[in-house]
């Protein structure tokens, strides 16, 4: 009765306990190991579907169960669950490493005749052969053993890095006075007061969670308070944090991770981890990426310098700040934007109630991609989690075309809370797959996770959560990932949806969806004032649109700083030395705003140390070129009433979303646009096009 061993239907998130983890994973590892031995036996045929029927079915069960445990560890962390997860992690890592390096299985795959496969299977087979090589299948003896040990240790270190970042964030609190919070929005103060009262404390509990931290930095008039929170935020999980948080220091972990990555790369015949990381990506070399980033930085720098000069002048003339410090810039920026464009983020937020935004998001997706989205039922891990289904008339299903056929389903977990990892992400629960064991179509299921503010009660009235426009954009972004995963029509698991898509192209559908957050004909359907219910006035939207590219130069350089640091860290940096020297070098080259010497933002850079973006953070800027050019197709074909052309939406759905990873991303892009992408649309969208 172990809930992790129930594979009929959806995961039993509400029933899983830490005690279930060990027994379930042990049983599934035993089953998967037996399947591996079966398909690698001398007499077992080197036939794709025969191998899949035994091995893929077994490993998919392991992957789904471990995915459930990993997800709960990210969104509902407890000491007991963390202990169970960490106990099982080395065993799971060892199995996947062993599977990916098994020379017998590698030989079976090499013996498969590609001409016997369909197009989807051929792409999956090509990827599998590549992944065997990257997984160490051609290593022997001591090198093979060392490679396996590196994989296990890296998994442990990445998990510990993530835990330290979460614990350091959760551990901090400051109980502020009403005077300190002068200028902070009422809803933020209300939430902070309730948090303090729940602990029997006076004042307002401030944390480093984004729904609290960011508005304090933007709106608090007290520079001393901003400095206090800023220092705590940028020194999290580092040697610069307060003494009582020293156990969360990620310095040693970073150094060891980098050394292991370099060693792994050399074992596989590469000079550095940057080269290894790019093998399955669109970019062909680290030099190509670095050149791309520096070219974009040169184009953005004049705009960033103008952004900074304007802010400095405003700070002197209107705020009496002759020498703004790093913790002052968010405040200066917000006040400058309010003055220049005559509106504030706080004013905008009143119109973006979570239910209304979600309805607007669903409306554009339903219209553009010919689907229907509705509430559905499933066991969940928190009362605030919602579950939905996506259907489409005449969609390809396992039993033929049908009215309102199920296409996919997704969980939405929107609110920030203790024990939940920060940030926003999409992850898969299961992939679309024409299962080889029963010839039934398995529909895809996704997780969409954000960290927005929760709703609150005022005078006995429960009010819905309010989202900033950035929150709205984040929601559209993650939903774009979800659509990529759920609208696929590919039946081969390893290349359906997001699976098999090059890492530097996987952000295309997510960034593409962000564009609709700036279209009035879309936005007007998802605004409703929290108190009056009135839609957002067009005049306010026009002010937002005028401010769309406010400080886009600074924002672009910030992303390039992260991306260039990441790539140089994994190509030219000596892991035996501190990363701070390289970070300072990159900031000197790229940034126009310098942080204090004690800032340690890299110590919580989970994307590259715990999230799969190592030597791949450039993907965000790379994919922005693709997504901006893709969206330009909708601009070029827009209807007279301003709404998107549905034929363009169909073409995009079929060429990009439905194709998933069944072919190279460039082929999918060219199938949609008829040519390769150019930088023009990105520069234009961000207000940095040449006059």
The pair of structure tokens assigned to 523 is 């936005």
| DSSP letters spanning 266-320 | HHTT-SSHHHHHHTTSSS--HHHHHHHHHHHHHHHHHHHHHHHHHHHHHHHHHH-
Q: Are residues 302 and 212 in the same domain?
A: no
Exactly one of 163, 180, 478, 658 is catalytic; name it: 478
SS3 per residue for 219-235: HCCCHHHHHHHHHHHHC
Alpha helices in 112-250 (DSSP H): 119-134, 141-171, 186-198, 210-219, 223-234
Share of the chain above pLDDT 90, in %: 92
**Pairing status of strand 386-392 against strand 372-375:** antiparallel
Q: C-alpha angle 537/540/541, rounded to 5°? A: 90
Q: C-alpha angle 459/462/463, rounded to 5°? A: 105
pTM for this model (two decimals): 0.93
Q: Are residues 542 and 519 in the same domain?
A: yes
Q: C-alpha angle 568/574/580, rounded to 5°? A: 70
Q: Are residues 463 and 359 in the same domain?
A: yes
End residue of a domain, out of 129, 161, 193: 161
Report CA torsion sign: 451, 226, 564, 261: negative
Residue 178 located in a structural domain: yes
Residue 635 located in a structural domain: yes
27: domain CATH number is 1.10.1370.40
577 is in which domain, residue-wise?
286-341+550-685
Per-residue pLDDT, 412:
98
- Residue 83 CA to residue 77 CA, distance in Å, equals 10
- Residue 512 CA to residue 108 CA, distance in Å, equals 40
**Pairing status of strand 425-430 against strand 405-415:** unpaired
Q: Are residues 649 and 524 in the same domain?
A: no
Taking Cα atoms as reference points, which of 688, 360, 450, 678 lies closest to residue 548?
688
Q: Are residues 556 and 536 in the same domain?
A: no
Residue 349 located in a structural domain: no
674: domain CATH number is 1.10.1370.10
Instruction: Please give the C-alpha separations between residue 431 and each of 4, 243, 443, in angstroms, as whole numbers.
Output: 17, 45, 7
Per-residue pLDDT, 461:
85
Q: Are residues 336 and 378 in the same domain?
A: no
Q: Are residues 133 and 244 in the same domain?
A: no
Instruction: Please give the C-alpha separations between residue 192 and each of 32, 91, 203, 213, 354, in angstroms, as whole numbers.
Output: 48, 42, 8, 11, 20
Half-sphere exposure for 356 (CA within 13 Å, toward CB): 25
Total residues found in the chain within this entry: 691
Residue 107 located in a structural domain: yes
Taking Cα atoms as reference points, which of 460, 468, 463, 395 lies closest to residue 432?
395
Q: What does the buried/exposed string (b/e) look like for 51-78 if buried means 16 or more CB atoms within 10 Å of the residue's CB?
A: bbbbbbbbbbbbbbbbbbbbbbbbbbbe
Q: Are residues 63 and 29 in the same domain?
A: yes
End residue of a domain, out of 199, 225, 248: 248
End residue of a domain, out of 161, 181, 199: 161
Q: Are residues 411 and 521 in the same domain?
A: yes
| DSSP letters spanning 437-459 | TT-PEEPPEEEEEEEEPPPEEET
Instruction: Please give the C-alpha separations between residue 258 and each of 75, 94, 98, 238, 425, in angstroms, as whole numbers.
Output: 27, 20, 22, 16, 24
Q: Are residues 372 and 479 in the same domain?
A: yes
Residue 425 located in a structural domain: yes
For the chain, which residues score pLDDT lower than 70? 394-403, 690-691
Residue 16 located in a structural domain: yes
Residue 39 located in a structural domain: yes
Hey, how many other C-beta atoms are within 10 angstroms of the C-beta on 618? 28
Per-residue pLDDT, 112:
98
Q: Are residues 123 and 187 in the same domain?
A: no
478 is a catalytic site residue: yes
- Residue 217 CA to residue 203 CA, distance in Å, equals 18
SS3 179: coil
Q: What is the pLDDT of residues 424-457, one digit of tens each?
A: 999 999 999 999 999 999 999 999 999 999 998 8
Q: Are residues 239 and 109 in the same domain?
A: no
Residue 19 located in a structural domain: yes
- What's the domain count of the chain? 4
Residues sharing a CB contact under 8 Å with residue 112, sequence separation 6 or more, in sequence order: 46, 47, 48, 125
DSSP 353: B
The pair of structure tokens assigned to 398 is 């396992």
């Amino acid at each position: 009765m172990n809930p992790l061993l129930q594979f009929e239907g959806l995961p039993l998130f509400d029933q899983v306990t830490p005690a279930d983890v060990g027994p379930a994973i042990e049983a599934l590892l035993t089953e998967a190991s037996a399947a591996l031995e079966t398909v690698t036996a001398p007499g077992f045929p080197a036939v794709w579907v025969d191998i899949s029927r035994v091995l893929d079915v077994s490993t998919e069960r392991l992957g789904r169960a471990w995915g459930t445990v990993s997800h709960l560890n990210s969104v509902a962390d407890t000491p007991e669950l963390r202990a169970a997860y960490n106990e099982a992690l080395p065993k799971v890592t060892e199995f996947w490493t062993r599977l990916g390096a098994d020379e017998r299985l590698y030989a079976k795959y090499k013996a498969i005749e590609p001409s016997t496969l369909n197009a989807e299977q051929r792409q999956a087979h090509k990827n599998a052969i590549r992944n065997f090589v990257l997984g160490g299948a051609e290593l022997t003896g001591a090198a093979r053993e060392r490679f396996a040990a590196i994989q296990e240790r890296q998994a442990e270190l990445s998990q510990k890095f993530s835990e330290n970042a979460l614990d350091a964030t959760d551990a901090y609190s400051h109980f502020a006075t009403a005077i300190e919070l002068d200028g902070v929005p009422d809803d933020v103060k209300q939430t902070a007061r309730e948090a303090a009262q729940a602990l029997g404390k006076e004042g307002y509990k401030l944390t480093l969670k984004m729904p609290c931290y960011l508005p304090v930095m933007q709106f608090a008039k007290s520079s001393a308070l901003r400095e206090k929170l800023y220092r705590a935020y940028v020194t999290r999980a580092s040697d610069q944090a307060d003494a009582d948080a020293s156990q969360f220091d990620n310095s040693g972990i970073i150094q060891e991770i980098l050394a292991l990555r370099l060693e792994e790369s050399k074992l596989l015949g590469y000079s550095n981890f940057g080269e290894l990381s790019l093998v399955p990506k669109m970019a062909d070399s680290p030099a190509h990426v670095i050149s791309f980033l520096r070219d974009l930085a040169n184009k953005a720098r004049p705009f960033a310098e103008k952004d900074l000069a304007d802010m400095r002048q405003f700070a002197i003339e209107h705020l009496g700040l002759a020498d703004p410090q790093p913790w002052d810039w968010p405040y200066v920026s917000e006040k400058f934007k309010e003055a220049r464009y005559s509106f504030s983020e706080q004013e905008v937020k009143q119109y973006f109630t979570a239910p209304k935004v979600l309805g607007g998001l669903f409306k554009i997706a339903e219209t553009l991609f010919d689907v229907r989205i509705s509430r559905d039922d499933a066991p969940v891990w928190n009362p605030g989690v919602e579950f939905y289904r996506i259907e489409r008339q005449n969609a390809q299903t396992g039993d033929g075309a049908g009215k309102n056929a199920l296409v996919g389903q997704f969980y939405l977990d929107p609110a920030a809370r203790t024990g939940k990892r920060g940030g926003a992400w999409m992850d898969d629960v299961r992939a679309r797959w024409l299962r080889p064991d029963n010839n039934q179509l398995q529909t895809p299921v996704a997780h969409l996770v954000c960290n927005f503010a929760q709703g609150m009660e005022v005078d006995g009235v429960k009010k819905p959560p309010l989202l900033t426009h950035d929150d709205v954009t984040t929601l559209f972004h993650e939903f774009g990932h979800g659509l990529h995963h759920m609208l696929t029509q590919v039946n081969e698991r390893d290349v359906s949806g997001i699976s098999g898509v090059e890492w530097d192209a996987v952000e295309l559908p997510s960034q593409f969806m962000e564009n609709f957050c700036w279209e009035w004909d879309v936005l007007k359907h998802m605004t409703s004032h929290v108190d009056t219910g009135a839609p957002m006035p067009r005049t306010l939207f026009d002010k937002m649109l005028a401010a769309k590219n406010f400080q886009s130069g600074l924002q672009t350089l910030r992303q390039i700083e992260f991306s260039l640091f990441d790539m140089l860290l994994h190509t030219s940096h000596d892991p035996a030395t501190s990363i701070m020297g390289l970070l300072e070098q990159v900031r000197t080259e790229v940034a126009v705003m310098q942080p204090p010497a004690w800032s340690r933002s890299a110590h919580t850079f989970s994307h590259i140390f715990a999230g799969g973006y190592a030597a791949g953070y450039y993907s965000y800027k790379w994919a922005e070129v693709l997504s901006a050019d893709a969206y330009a197709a909708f601009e070029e074909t827009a209807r007279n009433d301003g709404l998107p052309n549905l034929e363009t939406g169909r073409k995009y759905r079929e060429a990009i979303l439905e194709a998933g990873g069944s072919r190279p991303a460039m082929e999918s892009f060219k199938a949609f646009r008829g040519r390769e992408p150019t930088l023009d649309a990105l520069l234009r969208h961000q207000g940095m096009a040449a006059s």
